[in-house]
Amino acid sequence: MKKYLPVLSVLAVFAALLLRSADAAAGARQGLAVCAATLVPSLLPFFVLTNLLSDLGLPDLLGARLGGAAEKLLRLSPAGTQAFILGLCGGYPLGASVVADLRRTGRISRDEGERLLAFCNNSGPAFILGAAGGVFQSAKAGMLLYITHVLGAVTVGLLFRGSHEPASAEKLVPSAPMPFGKALPAALSRAVGSTVSVCGYVVLFSALLGLMASWLTLPPLANALVRGFLELGGGVAAMAGLPPAPLPLAAAALLLGWGGLSVHCQTLGVLADTDISCARHLAGRALCGLFAAIYTIAGALLLF
């Protein structure tokens, strides 16, 4: 019976779509509106710049400069340090993609890869400063959320550091930076693909949430939490109109740390051909959200 569960689940959703097609279509339209009004304008420019800086060699430079500190603090190899930096700069699911690539090439062990997944697959500044900060109409709120998000990831990294030495002490040979003329079109192409992928998940999960809307009526903050548990973009967008007060900001920090089930689906996809388990990723994302929410409450009480 267990092997048929995925098929039965998809059939159940398919039946619900047939029976409540108008609700699903309304949810999908809402997801498209979120993409057009919030996600594409805020994510695409940051994705382009992040990919461009990566191709121009910034992560290798930072890895070389910060590798010693990361090795002592988080017990990461030089390769793992780069994964952590890119995960903080590029957003979901870039961190997981980098970890998968490092594991495929043998530059990190399975254990280090699973440890990295717990805290390096994070929401990037593009979404937090642009989308989340924009929802609260406060640049100060966006900066607070990004700082506490990073602090939450570092805290989880400390919890998962263990007592052993870095799993791979092998020195990473930096790849040669791309010429700017080649890096820019490559960065743009990848950025468009990433943005389309994110929007695809937003629309899909928004359609599923549209099916739930007729059965579930919740206050605004609770509605945002339910939506964000499934899909981060829709959950954050549902906070529009809420004030940048400690409780709404803490809820946003929790969702940003958790990432949503859509992010976990994307992570499973990029790890599909590796031997890395997602168990620590799930635990790490939950803990990142919890710690970020705690830090955000403390920061919001001081700033707002």
pLDDT digits (tens, 9 = 90+) for 108-128: 888 889 999 999 999 988 789
* pLDDT tens digits along 11-31: 887 888 888 888 888 888 988
Task: Read off the pTM.
Answer: 0.80
Q: For residue 137, is pLDDT > 60? A: yes
Distance from C-alpha of 129 to C-alpha of 17, rounded to nearest angstrom: 35
pLDDT score for 86: 80
Lowest mean pLDDT among 67-81, 90-104, 141-155, 277-291: 67-81
Distance from C-alpha of 238 to C-alpha of 222, rounded to nearest angstrom: 10
Q: Where do runs of H (alpha helix) occur along the chain?
A: 5-19, 21-34, 40-55, 58-74, 78-90, 94-104, 110-120, 125, 133-135, 139-159, 180-213, 220-230, 232-237, 246-258, 261-270, 279-303
Query: Nearest CA to 288 among 255, 262, 261, 264?
Result: 255
Query: Nearest CA to 31 among 194, 201, 198, 203?
Result: 203
pLDDT score for 168: 45
Lowest mean pLDDT among 113-122, 138-147, 234-243: 234-243
